[in-house]
Amino acid sequence: MTKSDLHHLSGIRILVDQSYRKVRQNDLLKNIFETIIQYRWEDHLEKMYQFWQTVLLDEHTFQGSPFVPHPHL
Ligand code: HEM
């Protein structure tokens, strides 16, 4: 994976999937995510693809509120 892979959505999907595979194996992070997201992983990953598509490609597919879930964590 190189920087240029992030110029299209398929590369972004691969990077997000790889990152969350690591998160779900990380002792510090896995319980936080599994407790909150539970059976909603597909939706969460879809949102994360859209978030990074919006940030990196300037294609505004993300409609969420990125700040909201984090302060209490
Ligand atoms: C250790 C750090 C982090 C933790 C523990 C964390 C945790 C979470 C969790 C549990 C959710 C899901 C909330 C839900 O659906 O109920 C979430 C959503 C999200 N996170 Fe994080 N997060 C972290 C860092 C980040 C970073 C660095 C970014 C982006 C730069 C980010 C962007 C987002 C976005 C875009 C969502 C979706 C918000 C929405 O539903 O509208 N998070 N995060």
Given this model, what pLDDT does residue 46 score? Answer: 98
Residue 65 is assigned to a structural domain of this protein: no
Q: Is residue 32 part of a domain?
A: yes
Asked whether residue 31 is domain-assigned, the answer is yes
Which domain covers residue 36, as residue numbers? Answer: 3-57
For ligand 1, mutation pick of 38, 41, 44 (most atoms within 8 Å of CB): 44
Whole-angstrom distance, CA of residue 47 vs CA of residue 38: 15
Residues 6+ apart with CB under 8 A from 73: 32
Answer whether 20 contacts ligand 1 (Cβ < 6 A): no
Q: What is the pTM of this model?
A: 0.94
Specify the ligand 1 atom closest to the Cα of 73.
Answer: 5
User: Does 23 fall in a domain?
Assistant: yes
Q: DSSP class of residue 2?
A: -
pLDDT of residue 1: 83
- The answer to whether position 40 is within a domain reads yes
Q: Which of 1, 40, 31 is nearest to 19 (CA)?
A: 1
The count of domains in the chain is 1
55 lines ligand 1 (CB under 6 A): no
Share above pLDDT 70 across residues of the chain, in percent, rounded to a whole number: 100
Helix 9-23, helix 30-37: angle, nearest 10:
110
Q: Does residue 18 sit within a domain?
A: yes
Q: With pLDDT > 90 as the criterion, what percentage of the chain qualifies?
A: 95
Q: How far apart are CA 15 and CA 2, in angstroms?
A: 10
